[in-house]
Structure 1
């Protein structure tokens, strides 16, 4: 097969548009595609990384906000909940922005937009500022959560199916690691007796650098067209919502705990902000680093299997957290929480690998082959990723609201952990029932069209 040309589009579209892109063609991939895809992945990760840092910066800023700010623990949980909510909602339009503007162009725009919440927070973060002002400025930080959706949709188009678990895991993991990085920077600043404005001032030039590097080194793919039909088809497909539910359990846990961990340590165990900061970065750091491992394991063994066993581990870790919380054992509590972070990161990688695999399986079940099947899979998986990412992030809202209610009702997070344990059990059941149960029941009466995709889902 002759490798497709990667010559840029006519000058009217600019010099950063790639007209033809077929990563499933092995000749094209080896000769041209892999190098280009990896370069775009690198700078996509950088922009998404800073986006995550800005999105989660209020999980750090609230640690700086002592009694002189006049905020109760419930106020702080509400603030971080609303920031998480905006980050979840904006993921939907950010997903489709890639098709409208181009992956490179939207990365430049979305990176530049991060200046708005950062500069605004720099202006208002001081004692005497009203809670409503903090809430409004905090809502602006939610746009950082949108970078994940556009970045994942963009990178999904660059890589072949056999590499998507690794690529999407690395892309998302590199973004997720923005959470512990901003916490580590905050730890250094608190340790040096610096204030929150120092933290914000450090990030402003990095935002500019990310936007400039995206402009210099990234590409748009011409054949990733704006396709509202793909969005409608993704919404109608039941697997979009099933995977959204499962992603609540993994990514919702990761982002929710990232916002809440420090507050739980200060409110339930009496840790100072500095003492909390020494610990809070560890869980998000390990959870971010292991996300590509989850994707790679899913590439090798099947995302559904890894996700199923991962939920068992998350359930066990949560049960230990409940026991540690009731016994007021800080050491056991901290270790179990970090383990839960690691498992949430692993599950993030495995669940996101399932998405393109599911839609590729549906394409084969429809009788499509070769590039037609790959194009179908890319079209629906790209459209669904933003929706799944948005719903998954809403889990972070639920976690912070659950902690808020648990502290108001019981003075600790124990009640919230009991609710989380029940949810993980439900995720286990759904994963098994939808993606693994039928692969074992080969003798059941199904039509031929049903049997093929159902049996293949175990390998997604």
Structure 2
């Protein structure tokens, strides 16, 4: 085929790409809000049910668990059915689960609330939908930008931390869940009416899910990026969900005060994520990722000593959030370069699942290693520094992380097929 014929056969990605990117990001924001409504209310649940720190950590971590594991099949299903369908379905399922969480939360039944929180985790799979959806709308040299902007949808964690306790204070516990459920339901309808899948999907052969998963798991880069993302995104998710508990235990903040500060942490990471993706496009994802892990190592150890003045620990947490946000954008900037275009959804779903799982275990570790005598989380934060150091070493060995990538053109051409 001549270059002229190839150009005419290539889909027009410019028309509609920004609109769909923004809509997908907003849908992700709503999904993340629903996914993380338990964490901001953890002190309320702990007080009303007389929960131990370990039980509170289990409750907070439960939605993260399902939201992580389910990203694998949801990512594969997105490759098959497209983002428009999957956003609509997942948000449509999430709305009644938010209502159910509110109803069960009033019963003061810890096992039943954990079970509902488990299913609420389905909301977290929106991330695995948006990565292939947005990636398909953009050229290979702008995939880091696209996934970085979409990743800003994790601002939903900041929205949850800031607004959820305030809505409870202003309107009541159950009314808050009704409001959030209504927002999620409306978002599902808007996704169906307004979202459109990339024209690059036209004519793409749909493959069965299991062979695609097997192929994705057979790639070395899948496992490498899984570990990197598990550390950097896992740390973000863990702090965004557990920070209200941390601040309450260490600095005795009330739910509103802790939620406000957690929202600031999440917002800083969210703003940094598209910056990380853009920097990965310009300088290569490796240097961006290495910088992220290097900063995280230093800051985790500084925070571990628990400075008493907010003018000290506040900026430390915010700076850590920036490094984590840049790292999430950098690592996913790697996915668009290293993954075959037809498998971006599947591989992205696996890596996103690893990131979510990375956020599942830290709250459990923090709860298990918390020293109530001196209100210390030193062990948990030191472990974060250790894993960040291991991720730093692994990032040195991952390929296709430089400024230029010889596979970009074939990937873009495969996407156009």
**Fold in common (TM above 0.5):** yes
Match of 2:158 among 171, 180, 193: 180
Match of 1:321 among 293, 303, 309: 303
CA distance in structure 2 between the partners assigned to 1:136 and 1:266 by the alignment: 25
CA distance in structure 1 between the partners assigned to 2:206 and 2:41 by the alignment: 38
Q: Which moved more, 1:244-253 or 1:334-343?
A: 334-343
Question: Equivalences for 1:319-358 in 2 at 5 Å?
Answer: 319-323=301-305, 325=306, 327-358=307-338
User: Could you tell me how far 1:106 is from its partner in structure 2?
Assistant: 1.6
In the alignment, which residue of structure 2 is the partner of 1:277?
259
CA distance in structure 2 between the partners assigned to 1:170 and 1:345 by the alignment: 11
User: Could you tell me how far 1:43 is from its partner in structure 2?
Assistant: 2.0
In the alignment, which residue of structure 1 is the partner of 2:52?
72
In the alignment, which residue of structure 2 is the partner of 1:254?
236
Whose relative contact order is higher, 1 or 2, with alpha carbons under 8 Å and at least 6 apart?
2
* Offset from partner CA, 1:168-201 (integer Å, 9 cap, x none): 111111x201111122212433554x43323212
Q: Is the 8 Å Cα contact of residues 129 and 345 (structure 2) preserved in structure 1? A: no
Tell me, which stretches of 5 or more residues in structure 1 are unaligned? 6-21, 360-376, 440-451, 454-460
In the alignment, which residue of structure 1 is the partner of 2:396?
432
User: Could you tell me how far 1:2 is from its partner in structure 2?
Assistant: 5.0
Q: Which moved more, 1:38-47 or 1:396-405?
A: 38-47
CA distance in structure 2 between the partners assigned to 1:39 and 1:73 by the alignment: 44
In the alignment, which residue of structure 1 is the partner of 2:366?
403
Q: Is the 8 Å Cα contact of residues 168 and 175 (structure 2) preserved in structure 1? A: no
User: Could you tell me how far 1:278 is from its partner in structure 2?
Assistant: 2.5
1:243 aligns with 2:211: no
User: Could you tell me how far 1:393 is from its partner in structure 2?
Assistant: 1.0
* Offset from partner CA, 1:251-276 (integer Å, 9 cap, x none): 11111111110100101222222221
Tell me, which stretches of 5 or more residues in structure 2 are unaligned? 408-417
User: Could you tell me how far 1:403 is from its partner in structure 2?
Assistant: 0.4
Q: Is the 8 Å Cα contact of residues 240 and 384 (structure 1) preserved in structure 2? A: yes
1:215 aligns with 2:179: no
CA distance in structure 2 between the partners assigned to 1:87 and 1:224 by the alignment: 28
1:385 aligns with 2:348: yes
Q: How many residues were matched structurally? A: 396
CA distance in structure 2 between the partners assigned to 1:408 and 1:125 by the alignment: 28
| Secondary structure of 1:416 counterpart | helix
User: Could you tell me how far 1:316 is from its partner in structure 2?
Assistant: 1.2
| Secondary structure of 2:252 counterpart | coil
Q: Is the 8 Å Cα contact of residues 254 and 396 (structure 1) preserved in structure 2? A: yes
In the alignment, which residue of structure 2 is the partner of 1:292?
274
| Secondary structure of 1:186 counterpart | helix
In the alignment, which residue of structure 1 is the partner of 2:411?
none
1:302 aligns with 2:284: yes
